[in-house]
Amino acid sequence: MNCLIVYAHPKTSSFTHALKSAFIKGANEASHSVKSIDLYAERFDPLLRTPELHGADNPEIQRYQEMIRWADWMIFIYPVWWFGAPAVLEGWFEKVFSSGFAFHYKKLIGRISVPVGLLPCKKAVVIESYGGPAWAARWIYGNWGWKRIRKGILKFCGVKKIIHVPCWFVPFTTDGVRRRYLKKVQKLAKRLK
């Protein structure tokens, strides 16, 4: 399998970075090919500028889109901040999942159009690290950040299979729980088909 990791965390000492390393270890054990995009290390500019709204050529964006064409699986690894992905990843979605590449609108009747997902990679894994407990994200806040990534971005753009790995309460849990999260991610990477 060809696995493309899109990673968004500024610290290499973070648990989120350890999740990335665990995924790569599992993928290597299964002889998967892995490419990685580290948005902070690459100093990705998340600001969407006016020319980019009109499909202006951007070699950096074209490179990312080629990487998506290569991938059998897209793997997104990031912390959840303010119930959403870091701004650098949000900006990456806005720029890379562009109209004509990731989706387009099909006209039905008159002014009525429906979105059609075009992403060439139809499978994704979303690995999120949370500072809070599952019950707060799910029952109080409705887990809307995850729902938006799943439905409003990935499914909207044509991704058919999505595996979600939430890692809850990371700063406050035990080392044993964190080790179990890392093993889970490593095993998942080995099982991808």
* Domain extent listing, the chain: 2-191
Q: 104 pLDDT band (50/70/90 cuts)?
A: very high
pLDDT at 58 over 90: no
**R_g over Cα of the chain:** 17
- What is 2-191's CATH topology? Rossmann fold (3.40.50)
Q: Is the pLDDT of residue 82 over 90?
A: no
Quick one: pLDDT at residue 55? 60
Query: CB of 82 within 8 A of CB of 10?
Result: no
Average pLDDT score over residue span 90-113: 91
CB atoms within 10 A of CB 44: 19
